Each structure stands twice: as structure tokens, then as C-alpha cells.
Amino acid sequence: MARAAAFPPSRSSPTLPLLPLLLLLLREIGAQDVQVRVPPEVRGYLGGTVQLPCHLLPPGPEVRVSQVTWLHVDAAGTSKSVAAFHPSYGPSFRGPKPGEERLSFVTAGQSTGTRQGTEIELRDATLALRGLTVEDEGNYTCEFATFPSGTSRGVTWLRAIAQPQNHAETQEVTLSLEPMPVARCVSEGGRPPARISWVSSLDGEGRQSQMSGPVPGTFTVTSRYTLVPLSRVDGVKVTCKVEHESFEEPILLPVTLSVRYPPEVSISGYDDNWYLGRSEATLSCDVRSKPEPTGYDWSTTAGVFPASAVAQGPQLIIHSVDKLVNTTFICTVTNAVGTGRAEQVVLVRDTPRASPRDVGPVVWGAVGGTLLVLLLLAGGSLAFILLRVRRRRKSPGGGGGGDSSGGGPYDPKTQVFGNGGPVFWTPTAPGPLKPEGKDEEDEEDEEEKAEEGLMLPPPKALEDDMESQLDGSLISRRAIYV
């Protein structure tokens, strides 16, 4: 076989003794009229077969090819010949890795055979390389030695690439105020390394690390989506985006985040119209938590639990409202992560409320607009003063986010009032007459509820503080319009 023929170490080898001389001569004549055409870059998959095209132009018979040589320049700049084709002697190879017959000429010598002594018209020197490895990468020079035009060459950059395998998964975490990874996206065995990014409405960041992949020359990239895992992060979908030149389009991998958090509790059902003798009043303990609550506990700040109240899981049913119900109810909820609680101030009236929201203005109007204005002014200033006093009291210990000794951004007030709200805040006086006033309060409540998301079970010191806040609660919106 011609392939087994000894490979000439260089062009000046004894097999072609006249060639250097010939080339010198040709260079003087000028070798502008032939051209070697190669692609500037060829990519092949690691382990696969790749072709390095090389054609001599023009293809006509007026040029005679003495020899074709392929040279490989590796990343270190070392150049060596790997394949040659002689019109009479046929092909000869010395692969990038010795001992491996991974090279072949794709068309040269195929049509007319490679018997010694028969000259072949060499125009297509396309080289095939099987079992591509990282070491095969580099620049390959295809060199045509011709008569009478001389030597022409073209250079192709061969790159070995590998398509990565990708997967993404959630990493369940427990509520924390420190950033931590909540999802992981891995692109394994890519060459070059894949680019990973995250598509999300949350303000997390991808933290990336890279190591070598399972096949030499490949890379495994891992990106961990990291953020502060608050309860609102639970259930949010984020998408890992993997980009690689072997993909036509980026790969999108959706992940649903999972955060375990202690119960976030509020109480509903109090309609500000509980009066002596009213039947079937109910408070409901509304909970968001992960995992599901394991227990509900109802109690009162007074310590005495009214006999007329019956706790049924998240519900507190009062069959008949009596004086003992005139207290603050606490719902404490526990799950595997922790405990949360909410309180509801219940004001028991002697008689049902005469729905002041509707009747009030009419009555007042009958009495006289002047009186109303005066009252509004008086009430407004009172509320303003109270607010100032309250604010001053609030500010020193106020729940600033960075207060680590106080147990984080925890506002005891929210816990005290549950969804009842800190309600003496009535800027333009009789709350019921001014729907805007109510709205503002609701907004405040909403904000507080949002803050509640950050809460961990209250430290002891704060619970004490809550007691003192309770007194303040008696000056409530409800009290004003009774």
C-alpha cells in the first residue's frame, strides 16, 4: 500500500532530490497564476471526523503538480508535516499522534488509483481526519508544489468543539436574610465552555464556576442562581439560558424556585361590629407557609380564654359574644420551619353599631355644616398631634433594616394588630366620613404585611415591647367613631 510508504521528513528528503532546486527556479519566474483555496476556519466535533478542504485553482491541465503537503502548526507554534501526496508515489501520512492512521486524502488518488509510476492529476487535496482530539487543533497549511508556477499555500484553522449536556434544578432552601443559591444550572462537557445566564424577574445573580469536563479538552460550567430567599421567592419561575456555538438557538431550562418559610399569619373576620349577645362571630387565621402548618393555637393577651369561643383549627367560632370576648385574640401557627402569629383587637360594644359610614354624614349634615367643619378641624389637629407623638415614640427603636441586634427588620406593631391596623391614625378626623383616610390606612397595612414577609419569630425583647404598644391601640379608629 502506498499509504505505508516512508514519509519524507521534509521536502529536501532523498525521495524528491530535485524539488528544492526546481522551486528556487520557479520563484524567480513568478508564481502568481495559481491559487490554493481553503476555508479560513473548519470546526469539527471531538471524536468525530472532519474534512479540511483544499483545492488548486485554476483546475486546468496547464499546471503540473509535483507534490501536495499538509503542515500542522499547533498552539505552541511548532510546525510539522502530517500528510503528503506525490503524483507517482501516492499518499504518505504522519498523523498528529504517531501510530494512529487517522488521516486520509478524500479524493486525491481515488479515481485513477495510486499505482507507482502512474502520474495523477492532483487538484483536490482535501484531507480527512478521524477521531478528532484537542491536540489536532491548530492551523493547517495546504501546500501545492507546481510546475511551472511554484509553491502556493492556504491556511485553515481547525477547531475542535464539543456539544455540552445541560440540566438545571432547583435547590430548596429555608428562608434566610443572607443570599444563597436557590437554583443550579450545569453545562457539562462543552468545548469551548458554554455561556450560562439567568432570565428572571428577581434580582438574583448567577455565580459561575468552571472545571474540566469528562472528555479531555472539554469544560463543565456550573452557575448557581443566588439571592436572598424570602418567602415571596417561593414558587417563582426562573430560566437558565445556555449558549454554545454548537446550538442553533440558546437552550432554555425553566426552574421553579422553592423556599421553605415559617407561617405568615393574619386574622380576618372581625367586622368592627361585635356587640353583646351577637351570635356566630368568627375569626379566621389566614396563613401562608411552606410546608403546610402543623398546628394552630388560639389564645388571648389577657390570658383568660373566653368560654364562649371555640377554636377549630384555623377558625375561632364565638357562639355568643360576651364581655370576655372584649380582648385581643392571638393566632399562633407552627410548621416544620418555625412559628408565626397575628393578633386581632376585638372591641365589644354594648349595642350594634348604627352603620356610621352611611348614616353619619346625613345626620351631621342635618345638625349643620359649620359644626361639622369645626369637628373636622378639631379631630384633624388631635390626630395630627397624636401622630407626631407616636412618630417620635416610634422613631428611635424603629424597624430599620440593618438593625441586627433587634432581630432584623421586624416591626412589632404589625404583629400586635394583625390585619386590624394601628388605627388611631386618622389624619382628617372622623375616619368613616373620609374614605381617603381609610385608603391610606389600608396602604399602610399592605406595606406592613409586605414587611411581615421578612419576619422571623419575634425575639423575647420585642414581645415585651408589644405589650406597651397595646395601650396605644386603645386609641383606635374604632374608638373615635363610637
Ligand X SMILES: *[C@@H]1O[C@H](CO)[C@@H](O)[C@H](O)[C@H]1NC(C)=O
Enumerate binding residues for ligand X (CB under 6 A). Answer: 73, 75, 137-139, 157, 276, 323, 326, 347-348, 350, 474
Q: In terms of CB distance, is 323 or 393 closer to ligand X?
A: 323
Q: How many CB atoms lie within 10 A of CB 227?
A: 21
Buried b (16+ CB within 10 A) or exposed e, 133-150: beebbbbbbbbbbbeebb
Q: In terms of CB distance, is 97 or 323 closer to ligand X?
A: 323
Of 62, 454, 61, whose CA–CA distance to 228 is shortest?
Answer: 454
Calpha distance 48→159 (Å, rounded): 12
Beta bridge partner(s), residue 211: 220
Cβ partners under 8 Å of residue 479, min gap 6: 347, 424
Of 145, 37, 132, 30, whose CA–CA distance to 85 is shortest?
Answer: 145
Q: In terms of CB distance, is 42 or 73 closer to ligand X?
A: 73
Q: How many CB atoms lie within 10 A of CB 310?
A: 13
CB of 479 to ligand X, least distance (A): 8
Of 163, 149, 155, 127, whose CA–CA distance to 47 is shortest?
Answer: 163
Look at residue 42 and give its three-state secondary structure.
Answer: strand
Q: In terms of CB distance, is 8 or 217 closer to ligand X?
A: 217
User: How far, in Å, are 359, 369, 371, 382, 429 from residue 375 at the CA level?
Assistant: 17, 10, 6, 10, 8
For the chain, how big is the Rg over CA atoms in Å? 42
User: How far, in Å, are 72, 138, 139 from residue 76 at the CA level?
Assistant: 11, 9, 11
Phi, psi of 226 (to 5 degrees): -120, 130
In the chain, what is the greatest distance between 2 CA atoms, to the nearest angstrom? 128
Q: In terms of CB distance, is 180 or 466 closer to ligand X?
A: 466
Q: In terms of CB distance, is 134 or 180 closer to ligand X?
A: 134
Q: In terms of CB distance, is 81 or 223 closer to ligand X?
A: 81
CB of 317 to ligand X, least distance (A): 20
Residue 76 DSSP label: T
Q: In terms of CB distance, is 27 or 323 closer to ligand X?
A: 323
CB of 198 to ligand X, least distance (A): 32
Q: How many CB atoms lie within 10 A of CB 477?
A: 22
The continuous run of DSSP H or E covering 388 comes out as helix 369-397
CB of 246 to ligand X, least distance (A): 19
CB of 321 to ligand X, least distance (A): 9
Calpha distance 278→282 (Å, rounded): 11
Q: In terms of CB distance, is 22 or 348 closer to ligand X?
A: 348
CB of 219 to ligand X, least distance (A): 17
What is the DSSP track for 442-454? HHHHHHHHHHHTT
Q: In terms of CB distance, is 51 or 139 closer to ligand X?
A: 139
Calpha distance 347→311 (Å, rounded): 19
CB of 474 to ligand X, least distance (A): 6
Q: In terms of CB distance, is 136 or 411 closer to ligand X?
A: 136
CA torsion through residues 109, 120, 36, 8, sign:
positive
